[in-house]
Amino acid sequence: MKAGRLKQILLLTDGCSNHGEDPIAVAALARNQGVTVNVIGVLDDRQKEKPQGLEEVESIAEAGGGVSQIVYQKSLSQTVQMVTRQAMTQTIQGVVNKELQEILGEGQSIEELPPATRSEVVEVVEDLGEACELEVLVLVDTSASMQHKLPTVKEALYDLSLSLNARTGSNQFSIYTFPDVKHTIRRVIKWTPELGEINGVFSKLSSGGYTPTGPALKEALYAFTEKPIFRSIQDGEDPYEETGF
Amino acid sequence: MKKQDFKLFPGTYLQGKWNGHQYKVIRKLGAGACGAVYLCHNLQGEKVALKVGKDSSRMMLEVNMLKKFSKVQGVKLGPAFIDVDDWKAPSLQVFPFYVMEYVEGVPLSDFLRGKSKEWIGICTIQLLTDLEHLHKAGFVFGDLKTDNLLMSNSKVRWIDVGGVTAIGRAIKEYTEFYDRGYWGFGSRKAEPSYDLFAVTMIMLEMVQPNKFEKGAHPRRTLAAKLASSNDLKPYHSLIAGVWKGKFQSASEMKQALSYIVMKRAKGTPVSRKQIKAQKHSSDWGELLALSAVAGVFCGFSIFSFWI
């Protein structure tokens, strides 16, 4: 089995969507297109209770075949890399399970294999996770309540690049923010293998009030699929074949 | 499909679905990121440690590591592996579990309490000796931290090998305080020097158990912490050297550390080591006196021969 290319959208937000189409539906669409959606809900360090509307975080990730976490700012770095890696493993496991079902019949999965066989399969999954190519589109909610969290977000994204670039497989990152008055989302960093110096990225304030998570996700999906599809046509391969979608 | 959380109470019996072995829960030993560890009795009544979790892939990866590192080149590194199986709970849900040697011991911090400061160096040397073997086998420990260590019969033992990673790959598990990436001292690639950094953080923790955060200038924060710790004074340049990437292997760092530990023994006022050292010097005296006598005797015999 060859290590393929995995695509993820990582959504960082702190509230509920209140504008435009349903983000859960868009996430389901993304999953269908071979793009996993992960969501991290960022809490204030002083916040005692989970604010209302953050259940949406879990629902979006679930529909998008990804992983969700609600965390305080101070553990954002570790969470961002953990969520990304977990989602990678999850996707690869999904593909392997599908293959297993084809070989062994319906209802078979890694969990149900006898320990000796399972032991070998998990090593294969681990190897694929280390070697596969990964593309992460980071979508950051920059509405008013997120403003003071943005320095932490910046740090966490740098940390993410540090973690992923220790892998053997190559990485591509890009960063978008929302809302943007004209285009719903705004690209602040185009595809790059490393998120080193990202100073000044979130400098521009967005006009607060509305959080169009759904439309933003959809734009991200467009932005995402444009490049890889173009490239894979050039490569002459089906972009979803390897990830099993 | 999400698995429910579960609790195992003392007296519960667990039977494996595949191998059929049975274990009786005695008490909970601790909980980690992906499961809980219980002290159990096997059918023979021997004490074993049993870990139950939810993520069967992750548990299996741990088992693979455990199998590899129960023994590396004849040296015992992690706890010995005993059994791996699935357990069908009364709720009919299936939970993966594995069984390993029960390492009886105390946390490093408890062990060091009330002990003389030279134990800092000794424990660190022990740790580096184990790392030496692991690195030679082509792996780094990864998530090296005091929580993953026990002192068993005055010897450091690893109790969780879940973070062990093949050299050259990405570190799969880490804890920020011990992670050189967090402090801005390098990458998260699995290299021997990654573990060496964590060793210095364990040394820091041995003298001041309160963890601290990196702040705006991580490297400066660390340097200040080091400068302010008197008990680590003999090791200041060694630790700073590790941070600068001066050491590429556990052997190099161990050698440098051994040198400091030996040298320090001379300076400390009344320690067992010094008594030993004094004994050594008196040995020397004896030898000197003996050779002087022999020399005189020899000279005398030559002299008498010459006569």
Q: Are A65 and A37 in contact (CB under 8 A)?
A: yes
Q: Are B172 and B114 in contact (CB under 8 A)?
A: no
A240 lies in a domain? no
pLDDT of residue A236: 43
Closest approach of B61 to chain A, Cα-based (Å): 7
Angle between helices B56-69 and A115-131 (to 10 degrees): 100
Place of tokens 């030496």: B132
Q: Does any CB of chain B come closer than 8 Å to the CB of residue A163? A: yes
Residue A155 falls in which region: left (phi positive, over 0), alpha (psi -120 to 50) or beta? alpha
Q: Which of B60, B82, B140, B211 to mutate to test the interface with A (most CBs of A within 10 A)?
A: B60
- DSSP for B91-152 reads TS-EEEEEEEE----B-HHHHHTTS-THHHHHHHHHHHHHHHHHHHTTEE--S--GGGEEEE
Does the structural domain B13-101 have CATH classification 3.30.200.20?
yes
Give the structural domain span for A124.
Answer: 5-235
Give every CB contact of residue A170 below 8 A, 6+ residues apart in sequence.
Answer: A133, A134, A193
**Domain B108-267 belongs to what architecture?**
Orthogonal Bundle (1.10)
Which residues does chain A have within 8 Å of residue B18's beta carbon, measured at their own beta carbons?
Answer: 114-115
Per-residue pLDDT of chain B (307 residues; tens, 9 = 90+): 456 677 899 999 999 999 999 999 999 999 877 899 999 999 999 999 999 999 999 999 999 999 987 766 678 888 999 999 999 998 899 999 999 999 999 999 999 998 888 899 999 999 999 999 999 999 999 999 999 999 999 999 999 888 999 999 999 999 999 999 999 999 999 999 999 999 999 999 999 889 999 999 999 999 999 999 999 999 999 999 999 999 999 999 999 999 999 885 555 554 555 445 454 555 555 555 555 555 555 555 555 555 4
Residue A242 falls inside a structural domain: no
- Number of folded domains in chain A? 1
Residue spans per domain, chain B: 13-101, 108-267
Selecting from A115, A162, A164 the residue whose C-beta is nearest the C-beta of B18 gives: A115
Q: What is the pLDDT of residue B285?
A: 52
User: Is residue A169 included in any domain, yes or no?
Assistant: yes
Are B157 and B151 spatial neighbours (Cβ–Cβ below 8 Å)?
A: yes
Instruction: Give me the catalytic one of B85, B130, B143, B179.
Output: B143
Answer whether residue A79 is part of any domain: yes
How many Å apart are CA B87 and CA B6, to the nearest integer? 12
Q: How far is CA B51 from CA B35, B54, B103, B108, in A?
A: 7, 10, 13, 22
- The answer to whether residue A214 sits within a structural domain is yes
A160 touches chain B (CB under 8 A): no
Q: What is the pLDDT of residue A181?
A: 84
| Token digits of residue A123 | 């090593």
Is some CB atom of chain B closer than 8 A to the CB atom of A62?
no
Q: Check CB contact of A89 with chain B, cutoff 8 Å.
A: yes
In a domain, A151, yes or no: yes
| Nearest-neighbour CA in chain A from B252: distance (Å) | 24
CA distance B264 to B118: 9
CB-CB under 8 Å, A164 with B170 = yes
CB pairs under 8 A between A and B: 61
Tokens of B129: 């000796």
- Candidates A89, A118, A163; nearest CB to B60: A118
Look up the CATH number of the domain holding residue A206.
Answer: 3.40.50.410
pLDDT of residue A233: 42
User: Which parts of chain A have pLDDT scores under 70?
Assistant: 1-3, 50, 197, 199-200, 203-209, 227-245
Residue A244 lies in a domain: no
Contact B82, B48 (CB under 8 A): yes
DSSP state of A199: T
The answer to whether residue A226 sits within a structural domain is yes
List the Cα angle A160/A163/A166 in 5-degree steps: 140
Among this protein's residues, is B231 annotated catalytic?
no
Quote ipTM for the complex.
0.87
> Among all residues of chain B, which has the CA nearest to that of A111?
B56
Looking at residue B293, what is its pLDDT? Answer: 54
Length of chain B as a residue count: 307
A109–B contact, CB cutoff 8 A: no
- Chain A residue with minimal CA distance to B189? A166
Residues of A in contact with B63 (CB under 8 A): 115, 119
